[in-house]
Amino acid sequence: MEAKIRPSKLQIALAFLTIYVIWGSTYLAIRFAIDTIPPLVMAGARFLLAGIPLYLVLRIGGAARPSLAEWRTSILLGILLLSVGTGGVVLSEKSVPSGLVSLLVAMVPVYVAILEWVFAGFKKVSNLSVLGLAVSTIGIFILVAPSLTGASMRVDFGGLSLVLLSSFSWALGTVIGRKLTMPRSVMLGTAMQMISGGAFLLLAAFLMGEHRDFSFFEVSTQSLLAFIYLTVFGSIAAFSAYTWLVKHLSAGKVSTYAYVNPVVAVLLGWVILGEPVGPTTALAAFTILSGVAVLSLGNAGFELRKLSFCRIDLQSKIDKVR
């Protein structure tokens, strides 16, 4: 039997550094990219240019040909995760600071918990999970309240709503994706989703008329470099590191990126773009991330209790047989 090779601490540290820094910096890169490239054109081209080569390399390398059912799943998830999920985020950065966008995207674990609760038939959840949901909701209210009241530091409410919708779409795709037919190769499935999501984003860009005002010759060097960074590092390198971490570590440890990415995004937006980080933003950030952390602890504890109950039940059945 072949022994499983354990990754070194250095490999794990480099993989975490990759998803922490790269995914945290994509919000800033998006802001630079859409400065001279239409948002949906940029997002669609990014995913197609990442997905098509990855798909071809994997197929040539021996990955099984995907079935029609697997393509249907990939198209659906590509729309939910990338076309709506990422596309909405890209559009929102036209009117919402990148740091605030990252904070709202950090609510994805909260939406996932709510959707899983609904799909599970409203089964009982832990008190910590309920507390985490409540605290996160308060954080969103703190962040959005100035836009509703007309107070200073006002942020576009339409843009904020679009981020929340995009995050919910990403969460929905995450939840239902577990129940659908997927390719055995995780990377192949990802490539198929990027191809599907990218195609629908370009279709949306065409329907919205983004192509009319777009000329490749008017794209700035800064936008082009940001686009390349998003395609190579954001879509391929970071996801590969994430997939590798999931194989070797627990989901709880890997999911810490959800807490680190907003911090990186807010700091980069403040330092490089001069985006304001006032008391309201700081309080909202602390509240939202605290709520997500409490929710994760509640879910982890609830799963451990279920596992313990299963072990006790199994042991009782073994004792009866004896």
Q: What pLDDT is recorded for position 315?
A: 38
Which letter does DSSP use for residue 233 in this model? I
* Higher pLDDT among residues 316 and 266, named by residue: 266
- Give the pLDDT mean for 157-166: 89
Residue 316 in this model has a pLDDT that exceeds 50: no
Q: What pLDDT is recorded for position 250?
A: 63
Which letter does DSSP use for residue 175 in this model? H
Percent of the chain with pLDDT over 90: 35
Kindly report the length of the chain: 322
- Give the pLDDT mean for 60-66: 92
Q: What pLDDT is recorded for position 314?
A: 33
Q: Out of 111-115, 215-219, 317-321, pick the least confident.
A: 317-321
Residue 166's pLDDT band, with cuts at 50, 70 and 90, is very high
What single letter denotes the amino acid at residue 67?
Answer: S
Distance CA 292, CA 68 (A): 37
Q: What pLDDT is recorded for position 150?
A: 52
Q: What pLDDT is recorded for position 204?
A: 96
Q: What pLDDT is recorded for position 136?
A: 80
The 10s digit of each residue's pLDDT in 239-258 is: 778 878 867 776 556 766 77
Specify whether the CB–CB gap between 226 and 29 falls below 8 A: yes
Cα-based angle 162, 164, 167 (whole degrees, multiple of 5): 110
Residue 231 in this model has a pLDDT that exceeds 70: yes
Per the structure block, which two tokens stand in for 22?
């790269």
Q: What pLDDT is recorded for position 191?
A: 92
Per the structure block, which two tokens stand in for 239?
């996801």
The 10s digit of each residue's pLDDT in 3-59 is: 457 888 898 989 989 998 998 999 999 999 999 999 999 999 999 999 999 999 999
Percent of the chain with pLDDT over 70: 84
Residue 281 in this model has a pLDDT that exceeds 50: yes
